Chains A and B, each alone.
Chain A
């Protein structure tokens, strides 16, 4: 089996389990909706304030919902004690990482699409004309977050208090993603788009190149026994 077929197999396995349990997606979505509700009562924002704080809040919601999802990344393996079996499977461990990462990425993107729609409805985000840029930024930001998140989920899986450990390890590392994503999202909400847009999108691309390659190289050390 080639590396990509292996990755695809792992990806498909996670997709299927998620389709049957819907654990990650429901938890992320419920969390997102609750944040939107809290946001309204915490700030009671008018349209100007929504424009000012919206991008930041949007990414806060994505990130914290993402942590919920990441905490579930290796949950089925841990709960069913099947990590050993996964490691024994005739696939390269890089493929396990990549498959899992892509599955996490897809779950996060699905949840984010719904959250973004809710933001548009509840806070009158003028999203439609900016949909192209917005999708690109969400994809880039989420990719960076998911790639670091997946390897750190595997690291924190082996610790006591693993659900606390994940945000402690992940959030400082993922900070540049948050900065890049929030800055570029803010840039598309001004009319015409701010000059910073191109710069921060490139920044996200560079971050992704580094932080997708590095976990691919390091993941085998995490799984090893």
Chain B
């Protein structure tokens, strides 16, 4: 845990340096464009999160190990945080650049839908009483949601595309200057590390909570005796 924490910390600091000092200022958008590095990286990480949910949900359904369910839960919670960051930084960037808070652009809409899928998943978990049933049902929804997320993304991209084509993996005429690309990829890497770190923290917290509950139960039992 310790080395991961330090690496994450160093990577985050380095990416801050990259975003604010190393990357050149964008010609038309100016300083505000620097939010792009965090915004885009968070969006990628939120997709990584739903991928984790998918993998651990499938593995839970085949192996029935509660551990795997806890990992899926942790991925959903941390992923939803990154999805929320996307939802906040998006309008913050859009307002000064496009003059509007929100547009029903393909990527914005799919980020929004992904966020709703995360919220649905977390809400579902709160509303199912028995832990065993909660794990099963949320795994089923996790699989459906994760398979749906890329379809939502593609359908939005094809839906009356009126906005600039994606900058990364777009078509011809899109692309970033080399330094910007380096900073973007590095920020992404830093956020992936942060995601993994938070994810591990979260499921260890869940373990600690379970241990605590079983200890409390034992203590109560002993008291009764």
Tell whether B6 is near chain A: CB-to-CB under 8 Å.
Answer: no
Shortest beta-carbon distance, B65 to chain A, in Å?
14
CB-defined contacts of A183 to chain B, threshold 8 Å: 159-160
A151:B144 contact, CB within 8 angstroms? yes
Flag if B158 contacts A155 (CB, 8 Å): no
Docked complex Cα distance between A52 and B20 (Å): 46
The answer for the CA separation of A145 and B73 in the assembled complex, in Å, is: 27
The reply to whether the CB of B116 lies closer than 8 angstroms to some CB of chain A is yes
Partner of B127, one of A152, A165, A172: A165
8 Å CB interface, A79-137 against B? none
Task: Indicate whether A210 sits within 8 Å of B147 (C-beta atoms), given known contacts A159-B128, A203-B155.
Answer: yes
B200 interface residue (CB < 8 Å to A): no
- Give the secondary structure class of B's interface: helix
Are the CB atoms of B140 and A151 closer together than 8 Å? yes
Given A172-B117, A176-B151, A199-B158; A158-B133 close (CB under 8 Å): yes
- Beta-carbon contact of B117 and A173 below 8 Å: yes
Residues of A within 8 A of B136 (CB): 221-222, 224
As a 0/1 sequence over residues 119 to 158 of chain B, the CB contacts with chain A under 8 angstroms (1 = contact) are 1100110011100010011011101110110011001101
A contact residues around B120 at 8 Å (CB): 168-169, 172
A221:B148 contact, CB within 8 angstroms: no
Let me know if A175 is at the binding interface, CB within 8 A.
Answer: yes
Question: Are A221's CB and B140's CB within 8 A?
Answer: yes
Are B128 and A158 in contact, CB atoms less than 8 angstroms apart?
A: yes
Report the separation of the CA atoms of residues A155 and B123 in the bound assembly, to the nearest whole angstrom: 13
Q: How large is the interface on A (under 10, 10 to 19, 20 to 34, 35 or more residues)?
A: 20 to 34
Which A159-188 residues have C-beta < 8 A from chain B? 159-161, 165, 168-169, 171-173, 175-176, 179-180, 183
For the complex, give the distance between the alpha carbons of A225 and B137 in Å: 11
* CB contact list, B90-134 vs A, under 8 A: 113, 116-117, 119-120, 123-124, 127-129, 133
B127, B140, B141, B152: the one contacting A176 at CB < 8 Å is: B152
Q: Report Cα–Cα, A14/B220, bound state, in Å.
A: 50
CB contacts (< 8 Å) of B119 on chain A: these are: 168
**From B151, which residue of chain A is reached at the shortest CB distance?**
A176
Q: Which residue of B116, B133, B158 is within 8 Å of A172 (Cβ)? A: B116
A31 within 8 A of B: no
Verify B148–A159 contact, CB threshold 8 A. no
Quick one: closest B residue to A223, CB to CB? B136
Whether the Cβ atoms of B140 and A172 lie closer than 8 Å is no
> Could you jot down 27 A-B contacts, CB within 8 Å?
A151-B144, A155-B140, A158-B128, A159-B127, A160-B127, A160-B129, A165-B124, A169-B120, A169-B124, A171-B116, A172-B117, A172-B145, A173-B144, A176-B148, A176-B155, A179-B155, A199-B158, A207-B151, A210-B147, A211-B144, A214-B143, A218-B61, A218-B143, A218-B144, A221-B61, A222-B136, A225-B133
Which A-B residue pairs are the 5 nearest by beta carbons? A159-B127, A176-B155, A172-B116, A173-B148, A179-B155
